[in-house]
Copies of this chain bind each other. A is one copy, B any other.
């Protein structure tokens, strides 16, 4: 299996991406193509080699002179053909790699994959799904931020793709799907969500019904569907709240002279709520396999992302999505 890795994407690129590539190459059965500014990549690899007792594994390097930074307009990827996040997609399209992986700009990654691969089957819009930390690893939130202006039909497809992902990657049979609104009763929600509700009810999916805010941290269903604007808000809110609570707890325990005693347990929770630990997530709804990892990924997180990519290839996630999206609905 060959993966095109964006060496330039991420807060700690290229160093941590390349360190991760070295670790992954030693631990996993995978071929990696490093994509980015050749000079920088070679310089970093040389640096790693100098400080490494094992010597470097073999990598193919593909030059990409441009990088989309996090503060840049993701749409600019349409014109910037030399951007590493675009070149990794081209390598997949031209069958020089089986899948691609970036820790770079999520929005740019989605657009790059969409314009390079095209849409998958009847998909109206692509999206991304992410499990609710390791707090609820069997609950996927979709859309996690790709599409902010949604039509009801999009959300039904998001739910369908999320269900296939949870089945294939997490081994959950007939994943339950919940629609996030302001209460569990059927008549809750607004005009938009009531239309989505009716469509989901007839979708053939294992539709649980409306769910409310408590149900996400409680893991009430396997797939939580909402539009990408609110998916983004919900994720950042959850990250921010848990960080706020854990950092205040750390401070209060320190004031009480208990830092040392409580550290291992508080650290467990930091790890549990750390999105860099859950690997990388695929773009759903494009006709090629691209995974996107957390921007703050260090070398270990890059290894995790490569594992996620290998797993998606092993279970043929793309094939399952394609089949699931074109098969007639079971009503």
Contacts and interface: CB of A to CB of B under 8 A. Distances in A.
A55 interface: no
Contact of A237 (B190, B238, B253): B238
Interface string A208-238: 0000111111100000000111101111111
Interface string A229-254: 11011111111111111101100110
A221 to B, nearest CB: 13
Interface centre among A135, A244, A269 (most CB of B within 10 A): A244
A124 interface: no
Given A215-B240, A234-B234, A241-B241, 5 more contacts: A213-B237, A214-B236, A214-B240, A233-B234, A245-B269
Contact of A182 (B228, B246, B265): B228
Given A189-B148, A228-B182, A244-B218, A235 B213 contact: yes
A258 B266 CA distance: 13
A111 interface: no
Contact of A191 (B149, B181, B246, B256): B149
27 contacts: A135-B244, A145-B182, A149-B191, A181-B233, A182-B232, A189-B229, A190-B229, A193-B229, A212-B233, A212-B236, A213-B232, A213-B233, A213-B234, A213-B237, A213-B240, A214-B239, A217-B237, A218-B240, A230-B233, A241-B242, A242-B245, A245-B246, A245-B269, A252-B265, A253-B262, A256-B265, A262-B262
A21 interface: no
Nearest to A237: B213
Interface string A268-306: 110000000000000000000000000000000000000
Nearest to A241: B217
7 nearest CB pairs, A to B: A213-B236, A213-B237, A214-B240, A182-B232, A217-B241, A148-B190, A217-B240
A261 interface: yes
Interface residues of A, number: 49
Interface in A169-228: 180-183, 189-191, 193, 212-218, 227-228
B182 A233 contact: yes
B232 A230 contact: no
Contacts of A218: 240, 244
A269 B230 CA distance: 27
A181 B265 CA distance: 33
B237 A249 contact: no
Contacts of A234: 213, 233-234, 237
Contacts of A235: 213
Contacts of A240: 213-218
Interface string A118-144: 000000000000000001000000000
